[in-house]
Amino acid sequence: MFDSILVICTGNICRSPIAERLLRRAMPHKKIDSAGVGALVGHPADPAAERVAIKHGVTLKGHSGTKFESAMGRNYELLLVMEKEHLEQISRRAPELRGKTMLLGHWINDKEIPDPYHKSDEAFESVYQLIDQACQHWASKLGS
C-alpha cells in the first residue's frame, strides 16, 4: 500500500519528529522520515518535545531538522502534515503532490495538530497525545 511516508510540520523539531518516531515504531518495515516547510535545518529536536517523548518511551535522539523540498516529496508515497496550512503550502510549491498529501489527524475527524513550539510542557503533552492517537490510526489503516 504505502511503504514510504514523509511527516511534515513547520520547523521539523517538535511535531513531525515525534510522529516520525511513533510511526517507525508502529510500522518498522516502512520508510518513514520527517521534514518541515520552514525547517530549522540541522537543529536537534526541541528540548520540550524530547522531554515529553522520553516520558512516553520514545527518543528523538539523533534528529536533525530537514527542510521540505518538492523533489523530496516525490520520493514518498504518502505525505502527512499537521495543519491545513501545510497542505496549502505544499500544494503551492508542488501541485503534483497534493493528491498524496493528507492531514496526520485525518482519522480523528481531520483534526489539526497545533504547534507547541515555545509553549509549556503541558502543551507539548497535549500535542503528543494527539500525535500518538493519529499515528495509531494510521498504523492500523496501513498495517505494519
Active-site pick, 14, 15, 24, 135: 15
Question: Who's near 81: CB < 8 A, 6+ residues apart?
Answer: 7, 8, 9, 87, 90, 101, 102, 103, 104
Active-site pick, 9, 21, 33, 46: 9
Catalytic status, residue 115: yes
Active-site pick, 25, 51, 115, 121: 115
Catalytic status, residue 132: no
> Which amino acid appears at position 27 of this protein?
M
Catalytic status, residue 9: yes
Determine the straight-line distance between the first and last CA of the chain, rounded to whole angstroms. 11
Q: Which residues are catalytic?
A: 9, 15, 115
